[in-house]
Amino acid sequence: MADAAGNWCLIESDPGVFSELIKEFGVTGVQVEELYTLEGKQFESYLPVHGLIFLFKWVADSEPSGPIVQDHRLDTIFFAKQVINNACATQAILSILMNCKHQDLNLGDNLSELKEFCQSFDAHMKGLTISNSPVIRSVHNSFARQTLFEFDSKSASKDDEVYHFVSYVPIDGKLYELDGLKDGPIDLGDIPPDTNWVDFAKPIIGKRIDKYTAGEIHFNLMGVISDRVTAYQKQIEKIQKEIEEGGMDTDLQQVEIARFKERISEEKSKENMHKVENIRRKHNYLPLIVEILKTLAKEGQLMPLYEKAKQRAQENASKKLQ
C-alpha cells in the first residue's frame, strides 16, 4: 500500500506537482516554477526566488561540497535527516518552506505546528517527525502512480539509476545546501552584499553538474517563488493608486495594467492545466484498462491487435537499423 506507514512513493519532478504539494500542505503565497536558466528576462520575472530544488542522478560521493554546520546555527536552521526512501522530494520542499522568512510566504497551521513541535529536535528526530506526519505523508503519497502489479523493491538491479533532490537556500546572509542524506546543512559561504543569492549559487550548481560525465542531461532545477497572480495584482493596485493620486492616467499606465492582467490570465490558465494533469496523475485508470482488454478478448480482437502492434514495432526497429 502506498500510504502504509514508512512507505512513500516516488514523486515526479514537475512544477505543477510541487505547487500542489505546497498548497495541500496548507502553505500559501508561493509556487514552484521550472528554471531553464538563472539569468535573462524570463528568470528576472520570477524574482524573488526563495529557494532552489535541484534534481540529479545520485552517485556515491562521501565528500560534501562544503563544511557541515555543527554549531549554534543548528538552533535556527531547520534541517531534517531523510530516514525513509523516496521522501527526498518532499523534504527538499520543506527545507525551503521551513527556512524561508519572506513576507509573501505563509506556512499555514500544519507546517507551523510541525516546525514549532520539532524545532528543538536533532536532525534525525526531525526526519522521524516528518515521516510520521499523517498530513505530509498522505499528501505526498496522493501522487503515487497506479500500477497493475506490486514490484519487490529488493529485486531492483544495483545498476538502476537513482535520482535525488537537494535544496539551496539563503539563510541569514549565507548559502546552504540542505540534503537529507548528509549529516547536516552544508555551508557554501557568505553571500556578497548587494548580490542576488541566486547569482552566488549559480557557479556552485554548475560545478556540481561538471562532476558528471559529458553528455549527462539528467538534471532538473526548480525554484520556489512568490505567487505570480498575487504579485501581478499588487502591481496593478500600485499603478491604480498612482492614477488616483495623479488625478489622471496615461496610455503607458493603461498598457501596463493590460499587460499585468494578461499575465494573470496566463497564470490562471497554467494553474488550471496543472490541476487537470494532477487529476490524471492521481486517477486510477487500471479498472477501465482491464475491462477494455476483457471486452477485446471476448470479441476476438485482442490477439489481432497485439500481432499488428508487434509487427509495427518490428518494422520500426528495422527502419532504425537501416
Residues acting as catalytic residues: 88, 164
How far apart are the C-alpha atoms of 131 and 78, rounded to whole Å? 15
* Angle subtended at Cα 60 by Cα 58 and Cα 64, rounded to the nearest 5 degrees: 90
Q: Per DSSP, what are the bridge partners of residue 178?
A: 167
Cβ–Cβ < 8 Å for 151, 106: no
How far apart are the C-alpha atoms of 155 and 306, rounded to whole Å? 29
* Angle subtended at Cα 187 by Cα 52 and Cα 38, rounded to the nearest 5 degrees: 30
DSSP state of 187: E
How far apart are the C-alpha atoms of 190 and 207, rounded to whole Å? 17
Joined together, the cell numbers standing for residue 298 give 471476448
Backbone angles phi, psi at 156, to 5 degrees: -65, 140
Can you tell me whether residue 157 is helix, strand or coil? coil
